[in-house]
Structure formats: C-alpha cells, structure tokens
Amino acid sequence: MEGAIEGVLKRIEELRGEIEGHNYSYYVLDNPEISDHDFDALMRELQDLEDKYPEFVSPHSPTQRVGGKASERFPKVVHSAPLLSLANAFGEGELRDFDRRVRNAVGGGVEYVTEFKIDGLSVALTYKDGFFEKGATRGDGVVGEDVTANLKTIKTIPLRLKDRVFLEARGEVFMPVQGFERLNQKQKEQGQSLFANPRNAAAGSLRQLDPGVTAIRPLDIFVFSLQSVQGKYIATHSQGLCYLKEQGFKISPEYRVHDNIQDVIELCYNWQQKRDGLPFEIDGIVIKVNSLRHRELLGATSKNPRWAIAYKFPAQQKKTRIKDIIIQVGRTGALTPTAILEPVNISGSTVGRATLHNEDYIREKDIRIGDAVLVKKAGDIIPEVIGVLAEERTGSEKEFRMPDKCPECGSDAVRAEGEAATRCTGIACPAKIARSIIHFVSRDAMDIAGLGPSIVELLLDKGLIKDGSDLYRLKERREDLTGLERMGEKSVDNLLSSIEVSKTRGLSRVITALGIPFVGIRASKLLAEHFGSMAALQSAGEGDLTAVPEIGDVMARSIVTFFKQHQNREFVERLKSAGVDMTAEYKDKGLSGSLEGMTFVLTGTLEDYTRSEAGRIIEDLGGKVTSSVSKNTNYVLAGANPGSKLEKARKLGVRIINQQEFENLIDKTD
C-alpha cells in the first residue's frame, strides 16, 4: 500500500511540473507545446488524483490557479473581480449533468444563452464616464497585463460610449482566418517564422511592446460579457449583450437564448458540423445561465463559475502518409518522436508534421515509417497521428526505434521507470539550455533577481553565457552587459550583485537548481541535510541514496544517472570554482529562530512578497503552509483581494494577519 501511495504522489508531482511548463509556454511565451485537448487531459488527471487524495493537495498546484501568469514586460493590472475560466464538457452526457446541477440549485426552470467559443485572447475593458480608460489581458484571472495602447488600435473597440457611465466588459480578441493567412504569407516573404494558428497570432500581436506593430495586424474583438455598469439595472445576460451593442460594442455573433438543454445540445452538434464555414476560428460553444439572479444562487468555485460551461468540439481527422520519423528535443530534455507527413489540409492549414508523443504511443498504435495514417489537430493546434490504416500496408514499412543518445548533445537518453518520456540527461544540452538556466535562476533555486526569461534569452543570443555556471563570470564582461538593450548601468550593477549574493544560497538550493529529474525542493533539502556536501552526494550510490528518508528507487537512479554524465560533473566543478557555496545553508534575510508547529494559510496579493516567497520564509522558519483553513490553522496571512478563505477564517475564529503583522511575527523569531 505504501508503494502505491508513493506512486500516486510521484504522478501528482510529475503532472504539476508538466502542466506548469505548458502553462508557461502557452501564456507567457505564446508558444504552445501541446494541444488544448492534451492539456485538458493532464488537468483532469491531476484534478481526479487530488480529489481522491486530498492530503496531497498543495496551494502551489496548477489546479488551485485560474490560468497562466502575467508577463513581466507590461505593467500589471489587478482585476476588480476574478476573471474565471470555464469548465469543459466533451459530450452530451456532461451537458445534461451540467443542466441537472443548475436546475437543482435554482429550484426550477432555467434559460441558457449559447455563444461561440472564439479561439483568441480574453481581455477586460474598463470605461469611466463613457471613455475607454484601461484594457488588460486576463493573465492568471486575478492579475493581468495592461495592454491599453494596443487595444486602442483595434477599430471595433469603441473609444467612447453613448452613455457616460462607468462600465466593465469582457471580450475575446481574435484574428480572422483570412487575416491570419495574409499575415503568415507576409511573414514567409520576409523570412520570418510563421504563426502556428490564429489564436497564437492574435496573442502575439496584442502583446507587442510597440503598439505600431499591433496596429497593422488584422485584429478584431467580440465582447461577450457585461461585467458591471453603473446606474443601470440588468436582469439577464442577454439584456447585457443588447446594452453592450447599443453602446457600440461588437458583441458575440449568433448568440441564442434557450429554455431547455435539448435545444442547446442540438445547436452544439449543428455548429460542430458547420464551423468551417465561419470567417473566424471557434473551438466550441459556451453555455451560460441567462438570469443574473440565478447566477448569484449558483456561485463559483475558485477556478470556474458554476453557471457556465464550454462544450469543446472534437478534433478533425484527415488521411495522409508518414514519410519519416525524426526526434526533436524539447526544453525539458524530452525526446519527442515527430512524424514527417505528406502534406494534408486540416482546419484551414497545411499540416506536414505530427507529434507521436513517446515510444509507448508508437508501440501501442504500431506506427511505422511509410504507414498510411489518420491525423487530427487536437484542440486545433498541434497535429497528432491517431491511427494506422494497417490494411494499406505493402510490406515496405519500417519500424522505428528510440535512440539511446541525445541527438543534440550526445548525452545518454534515459527513460526512467514509470515515465513515458525518454529524456536527455545532459545539463548543458543546447535544446534545453534556456529552460535549464531559467530554472537555475528561479526563486526556489539560486534566486537571482533581474534574470527573467527574456534576459536569459538575450544573454544566450549574444553568446555571453552557455549555461548557468557562466552567470558567475559575467562580472568579467560588464562592458558587454551595459551595451545590451534594457541593460543600463544600474540594471547591470543590480544583476551582478544578485548573482554574487546567490553564491551563498546553500547546498539544497544548488541541488534544486541542477534540475535533476524527480528531485524537487523537499528532496533537495533532505539530500543536503543527509550528505552535507555536493562531493558526498555525487559519490553516493543508489543504496546510499535510498537510505535517506523519502528518497525512493526511481529518484535514486535519477540522481546516479545525472552525476554519471561528464558534462553534469563539469558543470558542478565550474560552479565550485566560481565560488558557489555547496555546504552552508542559506536563510532569506538572515532569519533565524522558528515558527515550528505553526500552520499558515495565504490568501490575496501581498505588497512586497509573492505567495511563494512568503511560503518559503514560513517553511525556512519551520512553519507549515496549507491550502485550506481549518480549526488547526494558526494564522491566515491576507493580502489585497483575498478569497473565500478569509471569510472561513473569521467563522472559525482563526487569527488573520496582514503583511506588517507577518513581518512583526518574523522579527519576534530572530
């Protein structure tokens, strides 16, 4: 039983890491690595495991978040009310379950409004005295990015309303199919990379630092929700849409009001067949309760409103043939087999490649080079092979074998027990170096302030660094740094100072920074406490490692394999020669003392700390951070815009503290 529980926890941690990586690629880099369908599957698996094993729920789990995170490139905007994401339905049964829950909650009949689920980028629009004042991306649902100047370039967004009112609305910025095709043709003519799909093109266009670039991109918007309006009574969602139209907004097209779920289901199936005839991309139908009074009765979870759901269309399928199978190395070091296809048109774009996911996927479907196959664009983003037409085989097809060496750097390619992916074990592999460095400098690792993803990419592009160890030699290239864009004298001084301070972070942080597969923050602390030095850890065998509490066989093998690679040992030596301390443990702000036995819950936005930073301070001082308030909670640390945890704390009589009181509490432990 104990082994089974360990397997569950291991799978939960794997899913969290994979989902956060895909969140980063999707929301921050605008570069999705998997389809919406596959992402939804990962989230569902994680949610199911956390529902079944609530003791493993963490406040840092992606299931506890609404979505992605705000970019550092734009000023941040705290939304007046959370912009929640929608739960998904993938069939008639789930729509009927939704209807049953709604009718039971409101105690009778209910009206629904159906709208297209536009494949674009969600934004919030704010008007004061009828004038457009601010526009922000959804971000993580609580904090977004201020893109007002860029939104003003979209001609379908009114700059002045008919009524002089305070109004907040929500809409979806998108790029019409014809505009997307013209943009990609222009990109091709100029020798620039092509956008993967209209959604990706819309997101990249709206988040340009230069509004002049946004202005020449063919962006449009449908406004789909009246969030609030001053001095006017609105009883239903459809009334809100009519009012928005009166004020000059381009509202959701083809929206319909229904008094039963059967009509909703029929409409979903109807548009599933007709979607290709639309001039813009949709990936489903949104179903919303029409009555705002009913919505108040239904309420919301921390992530989704209970009064709305999104019916997601299944992916389209086409027949083609596999010409070859190549290996691509992703930013996490995963070796992904990719099929080179005879080009085929799916959902309005030509597909020449498709993901084969991993070795098990190829074996399960018996995919061979030369096979006739069915291909779909899962979630209408990344194509994948879904089946082989074995009856069309001629005998000339060839079986595929995964390599045992990374094609990028030559390090061992290893598939760990229980994992589907084969991964490169080299820390300096060119294919994953940017992500490795971004992890290396992150808050939970070496915590080097001022080294965001864009700066890391810039340093790599300019050849100033090749891996994380080169950061400690940047002081020798100060003049090169000051010549870079966005790197003035003060910025360079602050960066070099932060790099120097990071040398004192201590052994557990260095272990975390190495990014050894399956070794997270907790395991790094246990290893540091047990072995005391990097040298002792490097020379440890599997038996030595499994003797450490909570270090299992899979993790032990991963550690031994990692340090067996020549480039990884060299990397550690370069850190050592640069003066990075791999023995003494570091405490933030020189804190000492203990919060031993105290349990904290964090809610809202703190002024000077992220929740992760505050949580780490608590744990460094021996305290515990949990995701839910109970009678065993000692303190609820509350910032701006706190959630429902604050009210629960009041009901239970749990002490609520603000940031200043938190800092006073810390000071008492010195």
Residue boundaries of the structural domains of the chain: 2-64, 76-312, 317-392, 425-577, 590-668
pLDDT bucket at 526, cuts 50 / 70 / 90: confident
* Mean of pLDDT values over 461-478: 91
* Cα–Cα distance for residue pair 341/319, rounded to 1 Å: 10
pLDDT at 188 > cutoff 80:
no
Percent of the chain with pLDDT over 90: 37
Most confident of 57-66, 519-528, 566-575: 566-575
Tokens encoding 542: 């599997």
pLDDT over 60 at 67, yes or no:
no
Q: 638: closest CA among 663, 601, 609?
A: 601
What is the Cβ-side half-sphere exposure of residue 61, based on CA atoms within 13 angstroms?
30
Confidence of residue 608 (pLDDT cuts 50, 70, 90): low
Dist CA 40 CA 131 (whole Å): 38
pLDDT mean over 51-72: 63
| CA 353 – CA 322 distance, rounded (Å) | 9
Range with the poorest average pLDDT among 271-275, 295-299, 573-577: 271-275
Q: How far apart are CA 94 and CA 44, in angstroms?
A: 14
Q: Is 167's pLDDT higher than 60?
A: yes
Closest to 370 (Cα-Cα) out of 342, 328, 338, 402: 342
State the DSSP code for 456.
H
CATH annotation of 2-64: 1.10.287.610
Please report, rounded to a whole number, the percentage of residues in the chain having pLDDT higher than 70: 90
Q: In angstroms, rounded to a whole number, what is the distance separating the alpha carbons of residues 252 and 255?
A: 6
pLDDT at 559 over 90: yes
- Residue 605: strand pairing partners: 640
Q: Can you point out the beta strands (E) in 356-410? A: 372-378, 382-388
Neighbour tally for 557: CB within 10 Å: 18
User: Class assignment of domain 590-668?
Assistant: alpha beta
Superfamily (CATH) of domain 76-312:
DNA ligase/mRNA capping enzyme (3.30.470.30)
The per-residue pLDDT for 298 is: 92
Residues facing residue 354 across a β-bridge:
339
pTM of the model: 0.52
- Catalytic residue from among 69, 117, 432, 576: 117
Nearest of 611, 609, 603 to residue 650 by alpha carbon: 603
Per DSSP bridges, beta strands 624-626 and 599-603 are: parallel
What is the pLDDT, as a whole number, of residue 2? 57
The domain 317-392 is placed in CATH, from the list 2.60.120.10, 1.10.3720.10, 2.40.50.140, 3.40.190.10, at 2.40.50.140
**Radius of gyration for the alpha carbons in the chain, expressed in angstroms and rounded:** 26
Mean pLDDT computed over every residue of the chain: 85
Active site residue 117: yes
Task: Tell me which residue of 639, 570, 541, 184 sits closest to 409, measured CA to CA.
Answer: 570
Predicted confidence at residue 588, as pLDDT, reads 41
- 8 Å CB contact between 656 and 648: no
Q: Is 56 a residue whose pLDDT tops 70?
A: yes
Q: What is 425-577's CATH number, 3.30.420.40, 2.40.50.140, 3.40.50.720, 1.10.150.20?
A: 1.10.150.20
pLDDT score recorded for residue 310: 94
User: What are the tokens at 264?
Assistant: 């909703």
pLDDT at 68: 46
| pLDDT of amino acid 616 | 72
pLDDT at 635 over 50: yes
Strand order in the sheet with 88-89: 88-89, 308-312, 282-289, 112-118, 256-258
Q: Which of 317-321, 442-446, 659-663 has the lowest mean pLDDT?
A: 659-663
**Mean pLDDT of all residues in 232-248:** 94
In the numeric block, the tokens 């570069």 are attached to 31
- Rounded to an integer, the average pLDDT of 254-258 is 94
